[in-house]
Amino acid sequence: MKKKPINPEIVVKTYVELVKKLKSFEINPQEAFNLAYRNKYHLNARYYWTRIKITRYLRVRIKEYVSVNRHLRSKYKDKSSDFIRDKVKNEMPKKIKSCWKTVDNEYFKKTFDKYNPKAKWDVRKEVQNLHKLVTERRREKDKFDSKLHRPIYEEFNRTAIQNKVTWNYSIFQKLINIIR
């Protein structure tokens, strides 16, 4: 589907025409790139704040998953991995409790103040907002794609290399799908 131009009087069909138009409007290349990139990918403060909230939530969920998994592996030493994985899903804390753990710390509050300087800090409201964010099914892939959580992945990758364990994005994506 072809998009209609915003201003029908200005139609740009080639990159050469685009460069001429940008020069006529006195828009430098970096400014043009920034505008296009921001508009295409919607990278603004709200986007980054959402990414930070989801990443913090995933860190809490991964820690909970690891502790429950260790406990169950020691309890059921002779059981299969599939059995333990199903048990872990049942034993994991509720998502709302994980949201409370995520929001109720000083780092989260400082980051909130940075991205929302005019808003009043309310823990209960932020827990509700985070819970809504992580449980909504709409645009699920955008929020929980393993490639968007590269810092967490790289932490696990370093640990996996030290422990001589195979680790890649597909395994990480499966982990994210289990814990969220």
Judged against a pLDDT cut of 70, whether residue 6 lies above it is answered with: no
Evaluated on CA atoms 78, 166, 62, 137, the torsion sign reads: negative
Return the amino acid letter for 143.
Answer: K
Residue 176 contacts residue 149 (beta carbons within 8 Å): yes
Under the phi-then-psi rule, with left for phi > 0, alpha for psi from -120 to 50, and beta for the rest, what region is 139?
left
pLDDT digits (tens, 9 = 90+) for 115-156: 999 999 999 999 999 999 888 876 566 666 655 556 665 666
Which tokens hold the place of 22? 């940008």
- Is residue 99 packed enough to be buried (19+ CB in 10 Å), middle (13-18) or exposed (0-12)? buried
Q: Per-residue confidence at 161, pLDDT binned at 50, 70, 90? A: low
Name 35's Cβ contacts closer than 8 Å, sequence gap at least 6: 27
Residue 32 contacts residue 22 (beta carbons within 8 Å): yes
- High-pLDDT (> 70) share of the chain, %: 69
